[in-house]
Chains A and B, each alone.
Chain A
Amino acid sequence: MARSLRPSGADDLGLRRALSDRLLPLLVAAMTFLAALALAGSMAAAGLAEHWRSGAASMLTVQVPSPEVGTASGKSRADAVAQVLRGTAGIESSRRLTSDDIAALLKPWLGDNPASLALPLPAMFEVRLNGAAFDAAGLAAGLAQTAPGTLVERNGAWLARLSDLVRSLRACAALALLGVAFIAAAMVSLATRAGLAWRRDAIEIVHGLGATDGMIAGLFAMRITMLTLGGALLGLVVSMPVLLGLTSLAAPFGSGSAEPLSPADLLRTLPPMLWTQLAALPPIAAGIGWVTAQATVRSWLGKLP
C-alpha cells in the first residue's frame, strides 16, 4: 500500500494541474459511449436474429406435386396430406397457401399471372410447430406413403445463416470493444507521460527523499482512476438517450407491434445482460486507467537509479 505524502485528499505531487480533469475524461467518455453502442448494437442484432431464428425453427414447408391427383382413399393428394398433417403430434397448425399466395411468391420469376403459363404448380402447406417433440423424419416418411414425391423443408439453410450472423455480430462487437479498450489505454498512457514530464522535478525530489516506485505510481494511478471513472460515467449517461432511441426504433421488429413504447417500457425492454454489461463499463475503464498508469509510471521510474 502506497504511503501518502500528506493526509488523504491532498494533492501530493500537484497532479490536479499535471493531469487535467478536462481532456482525458472527455476522451474516456467518448470511448465509453462507443463501447456502449457496440454492446447494445451487438445485443440488439443478436436478439433480433434469435427472434427470427426461433420463428424459422418453428416453421416448416410441405410441397405436394400434382395436388389434385387422387389417391387410393379417393381423396386428392393435397387433401390426404392435409389430413396427415392435422393428425401429426407436434404440429400446432397447417395452412394450405392459396393460389394468390403462390402467385405472389412466384411473381419475381413467372410474372403477374403464372396460371396462364399452365405450369404444374405444387400445393404448398405452411406448417407451424407447437414446440413439443416433433418427428420430422417420421412425417416425411408418412407423407411419402400418402403422396409420393411430397417434400418437407425445415428452413435449415436459413437457420445456419442466422446462427453465423449472430456469431459474426458478437465477434465484431468484441473486436470493437477491444479496439476501444486499446485506444483508451493509449490515451491514458499519453496523459500519464505528459503528467510525468510536467511533474518531473517533483517526482525526482520525492524519489530522492526515499519514495518508492509503488508510492509514486500509486498517486498517479489514483488520479488517473478517478478521471477515467468520471469520464466513463459521463459517457454512460450520454449514451442512455441514444440507446433508448435505438431501442424504440428496433422494438417493433422484436415485439411485432407497431405501437410506440413508453420510456418505462423501453427501459424494461433492454435485456438484463445489457444492463449488467453497461454497468461494468465504468469499473472496466477505471481498471484500464489504473493498470495503464501504474505500468507507465513504473516504466518511467525504472530509468531513475
Chain B
Amino acid sequence: MVRLEGVGLRYGWPSGGAVLHDLNFAIAEGGFRWLLGPSGAGKTSLLRLLTLAVRPTGGRLNLLGAAVERAKRAELPPLRRRIGTVFQEFRLLPHLSAFDNAALPLRLAGRPEGQVRADVSEMLRWVGLTSRADALPPELSGGEQQRVAIARAVVARPALLLADEPTGNLDDVQAERLMQLLRELNRLGTTVVVATHSTALVERYPGRALVLAHGRLVHDGDSDQAPRPEPEA
C-alpha cells in the first residue's frame, strides 16, 4: 500500500538542502498512522510526497502499487484520484460553491451527475453543511471551510486518506465527528495518515505513529511509546 525505502527529498534538487533523509517504513492496506513531530520536522514534506505533489529525489516510494519515483507523468493522475487529502489551509477553489468543491473528485473521476449529486449531498449533510451548499468559500467560516475540505477528501472513498492538522479549525464536537469518520473509513479499508501537533488528540485515539525529527524517522510504533516532542525554539 505505502512503502518507503531509503526515501530522501531535496527542494531545488540537486543543489537544494535535504528536508527528508533515508525514510524507511511501510503501511499496510487499511492501516492507520499518526504522523507526529515538531514544526520543521518534515511532516508536511512527507505528506507532499504521499499526495504526489513532489517526487522523491532519492530512494523508492511505492504508493498504491505504483513505483512513484519512476512512474510516467500520465500514470500519476489516476493515482492521485485514489488519494484523499485534507490540507491545513483547506485549498478550496474560491469561485466554486461548497457543493462544487466537494464534488470535484467525483467529477474528475467521471462519475454520473446523478451519483455526484447524491453522494455530495450525503457528505455535506454528514458534515452539517447542507444549508451552506451554495455558499462560496469566502462566505464560509474557517471551520466550515475545513468541513468542506473534509467532505471533498472523503467523498470518493479514497484508498489512501491524508490529513494535515484536520481538527485545527474544528470545535470539539466537529473534531470528534471527524475522528469517528476517519476511524470508520479506516475500518472499511481506507489507509489513513493524520499529521497533528495535538498530543491530546493522539492520547484520545491511540494507535501506530510515525515520528519525524529533522527530516528523519525516529519512531515507527505505538503512539503511547512515541518520544515526547522537543520544545520548539
A208 and B110 contact, CB distance less than 8 A: no
What is the chain B residue whose CB lies nearest that of A201? B91
Chain B CB within 8 A of A202 CB: yes
Segment of B76-84, B177-185, B186-194, B203-211 engaged in the interface with chain A? B76-84
Chain B CB within 8 A of A133 CB: no
B95 and A209 contact, CB distance less than 8 A: no
A205 and B91 contact, CB distance less than 8 A: yes
A7 and B108 contact, CB distance less than 8 A: no
**Given A11-B95, A205-B91, A208-B53: A3 in contact with B105 (beta carbons within 8 A):** no
**Given A205-B93, A210-B105: A5 in contact with B80 (beta carbons within 8 A):** no
- Which of B93, B94, B95, B108 is within 8 Å of A210, CB to CB? B108
| CA–CA, A241 and B38, complex, Å | 72
Range of interface residues on B (Cβ < 8 Å): 20 to 34
Chain B CB within 8 A of A69 CB: no
| CA–CA, A3 and B54, complex, Å | 24
A contact residues around B53 at 8 Å (CB): 208, 305
Distance in Å from the Cβ of A3 to the closest Cβ of chain B? 5
Give the total of A residues in contact with B, Cβ under 8 Å.
24
Known pairs A205-B91, A209-B81, A210-B79. 17 more at Cβ < 8 A? A5-B100, A6-B107, A7-B113, A11-B95, A14-B95, A17-B95, A201-B91, A205-B92, A205-B93, A208-B53, A209-B152, A210-B105, A211-B77, A212-B77, A215-B108, A305-B53, A305-B76
Q: Could you give 24 example pairs across A and B, Cβ below 8 Å?
A: A3-B107, A3-B108, A3-B110, A5-B108, A6-B100, A7-B113, A14-B94, A201-B91, A202-B93, A202-B94, A208-B51, A208-B80, A208-B91, A209-B81, A209-B104, A209-B105, A209-B108, A209-B152, A210-B80, A212-B77, A305-B53, A305-B54, A305-B55, A305-B73
